[in-house]
Amino acid sequence: MTRSMTLPLWGVLIVTATLFGSSFLFIKISLADIPPFTLAAGRAALAAIAVILFLYLSGGRLPRPGKIWVPMTVLGLLTAVLPYVAIAFGQLHIDSSLGGILFATIPVFSVLIAPLVLKEEQLTPSRITGVLTGFAGVILAIGPDALSGLGTQLLGAGGTILAALSYASGTIFARTLGGTSPIVLAAGQLFVAALVLIPVSLLVDTPWTLSPAPGPLASLVLVALLNTAIPVLLMFWLVRNAGASNTSLLAFFMPVASVLLGVLVMGESLGWFVVLGFGFIISGAGLVTGTFRLHRRAVPRRS
Rounded CA separation 27/233 (Å): 20
Helices (H) and strands (E) in the chain, counts: 16, 0
Rounded CA separation 273/191 (Å): 39
Taking residues 36-51, report their average pLDDT. Answer: 96
Average pLDDT over the chain, rounded to an integer: 82
0.85 surpassed by pTM: no
Confidence at residue 68, expressed as pLDDT on a 0 to 100 scale: 86
Higher pLDDT, 214 or 1: 214
Taking residues 177-195, report their average pLDDT. Answer: 88
Sign of CA pseudo-dihedral 168, 184, 68, 48: positive
Domain range annotation of the chain: 7-289
Summarised one tens digit per residue, pLDDT across range 65-89 is 888 899 999 999 999 999 999 999 9
* pLDDT of 9 over the 90 cut: no
CA proximity to 205, closest of 72, 40, 65: 40
Summarised one tens digit per residue, pLDDT across range 169-181 is 888 888 787 777 8
* pLDDT of 1 over the 50 cut: no
Which of 129-138, 168-177, 200-209 has the least mean pLDDT? 129-138
Summarised one tens digit per residue, pLDDT across range 27-41 is 999 999 999 999 999
User: pLDDT category, 294, cuts 50, 70, 90?
Assistant: low
**Percentage of the chain modeled with pLDDT above 70:** 85
Which of 141-145, 175-179, 229-233 has the least mean pLDDT? 141-145
Which of 60-64, 194-198, 216-220, 275-279 has the least mean pLDDT? 275-279
Rounded CA separation 74/193 (Å): 10
Higher pLDDT, 162 or 126: 162
Confidence at residue 245, expressed as pLDDT on a 0 to 100 scale: 62
Rounded CA separation 93/113 (Å): 28
Q: From its phi and psi, is residue 210 left (phi > 0), alpha (psi between -120 and 50) or beta?
A: beta
Taking residues 229-246, report their average pLDDT. Answer: 80
User: pLDDT category, 194, cuts 50, 70, 90?
Assistant: very high
Which of 54-58, 112-116, 182-186, 269-273 has the least mean pLDDT? 269-273
Taking residues 198-212, report their average pLDDT. Answer: 94
